[in-house]
């Protein structure tokens, strides 16, 4: 495979991996606070349709992104009310949120299905974009791709170099101890949940405004579930989330390139299209074989409700 073939695959891998990076980083912060939110698919779908409608109405992609983040955050706030204040089961509530969000997005987006947005031009970084092989892939991208990298570094700094990040991790490990030394456990968990929702909405906005500037029912296509799996795959570590997102993005685009290459491969196209999901299942099964390794870096209170004693 020469550079002329590899460069567009690398470019498409970065694009395909970006919504996974955004959503998985938000879920990572959620889970570091001890909250398991399985509703990423629904929050992405609502964020995608809200971003599309706002961009279509205003003509501003920035407003669309803001609307997508607000929609995702609003849905996450509803989830927080259920699992943090009302102490509902996190798994059941997350699944309900995913189903509700996908249905709500399909209903709200029905009038916009035949419309398209003007393409948002990428931001080309002089000189660096001319580098062979990696120039176009890393330095001639949409603004949200660069933003995802900036958010990655901000989250790394927040979690491991800041006091609020230390408090958040303490809440995720032992909310009772964190509460005993005076930290507002409920507030920290609410903020983490809302942040995760905003990031899921941002990932949805990337799909409907930047990646394919249109709204189609089902356009999230399981990315929310893949992002959830990514957090486990990455052992709750930001760098592994970033690398894993591009790995899964690479699997997504590779099957598209194979189908479009004209190669005479005796392999059903439906199976090729399902490769990212097969990869997700295989990775999760491989990780689950050793429970000790799988739980090595998992927050101890993940998925467990906590009500502070007054």
Task: List, in sequence order, every residue forming a beta bridge with 102; answer none if it has no partner.
Answer: none
Is the residue at 7 inside a domain? no
Q: Are 205 and 51 in contact (CB under 8 A)?
A: yes
Mean per-residue pLDDT pooled into runs of 10, the chain (310 residues): 76 94 96 95 96 95 97 97 94 96 95 90 92 89 96 97 96 93 94 97 96 91 91 90 90 76 66 75 74 74 83
Torsion of CA 203, 27, 191, 211, to 10 degrees: 0
Q: Are 208 and 49 in contact (CB under 8 A)?
A: yes
Task: List, in sequence order, every residue forming a beta bridge with 116; answer none if it has no partner.
Answer: 214
Q: Are 271 and 239 in contact (CB under 8 A)?
A: no
Is the residue at 308 inside a domain? no
Cα–Cα distance measured from residue 279 to residue 287, given in angstroms and rounded to the nearest whole number: 12
The pair of three-digit structure tokens given for residue 149, joined into one six-digit string:
């990298």
Q: Are 110 and 50 in contact (CB under 8 A)?
A: no
- From residue 11, alpha-carbon distances to 45, 98, 129, 138, 272 in Å are 24, 30, 12, 7, 20
Is the residue at 11 inside a domain? no
Is the residue at 12 inside a domain? no
Is the residue at 184 inside a domain? yes
Q: In this predicted structure, what is the pLDDT of residue 293?
A: 65
Angle at 194 between CA 102 and CA 237, to 5 degrees: 95
Cα–Cα distance measured from residue 180 to residue 176, given in angstroms and rounded to the nearest whole number: 6
Q: How many independent structural domains does the chain possess?
A: 1
DSSP 3-state assignment of 145?
helix
Is the residue at 280 inside a domain? yes
Burial of 175 (0-12, 13-18, 19+ CB in 10 A): buried
Q: In this predicted structure, what is the pLDDT of residue 114?
A: 78
pTM: 0.92
Dihedral sign, CA of 149, 77, 224, 50?
Answer: negative
Is the residue at 304 inside a domain? no
Is the residue at 287 inside a domain? yes
Q: Which of 150, 203, 211 is nearest to 11 (CA)?
A: 211
> Which residue range(s) make up the domain with 271?
17-297
Helix (H) or strand (E) holding 123: strand 123-124
Helix (H) or strand (E) holding 141: strand 140-141
Q: Which of 278, 273, 267, 277 is nearest to 41 (CA)?
A: 277
The pair of three-digit structure tokens given for residue 181, joined into one six-digit string:
């030394």
């Amino acid at each position: 495979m020469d550079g002329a073939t590899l460069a567009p695959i690398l470019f498409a891998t970065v694009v395909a991996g970006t919504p996974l990076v955004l959503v998985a980083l938000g879920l990572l912060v959620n889970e570091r606070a001890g909250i398991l939110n399985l509703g990423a698919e629904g929050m992405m779908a609502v964020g995608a349709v809200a971003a599309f409608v706002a961009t279509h109405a205003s003509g501003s992609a920035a407003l669309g992104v803001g609307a997508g983040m607000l929609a995702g955050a609003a849905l996450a706030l509803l989830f927080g009310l259920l699992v943090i204040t009302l102490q509902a089961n996190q798994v059941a509530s997350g699944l309900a949120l995913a189903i509700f969000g996908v249905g709500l997005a399909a209903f709200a987006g029905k009038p916009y299905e035949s419309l398209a947005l003007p393409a948002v031009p990428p931001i080309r970084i002089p000189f660096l974009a001319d580098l062979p092989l990696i120039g176009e892939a890393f330095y001639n991208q949409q603004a949200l791709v660069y933003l995802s990298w900036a958010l990655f570094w901000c989250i790394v700094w927040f979690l491991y170099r800041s006091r609020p990040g230390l408090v958040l991790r303490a809440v995720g490990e032992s909310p009772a101890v964190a509460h005993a030394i005076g930290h507002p456990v409920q507030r920290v968990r609410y903020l983490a949940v809302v942040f995760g929702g905003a990031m899921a909405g941002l990932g949805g906005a990337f799909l409907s405004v930047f990646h394919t500037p249109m709204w189609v029912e089902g356009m999230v296509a399981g990315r929310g579930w893949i992002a959830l799996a990514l957090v486990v795959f990455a052992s709750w570590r930001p760098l592994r989330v970033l690398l894993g997102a591009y790995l899964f993005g690479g699997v997504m685009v590779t099957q598209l390139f194979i189908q479009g290459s004209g190669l005479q491969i005796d392999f059903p196209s439906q199976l090729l299209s399902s490769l990212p999901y097969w990869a997700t299942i295989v990775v999760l099964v491989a990780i689950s074989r050793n429970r000790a390794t799988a739980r090595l870096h998992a927050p101890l209170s993940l998925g467990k409700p906590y009500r502070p004693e007054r």
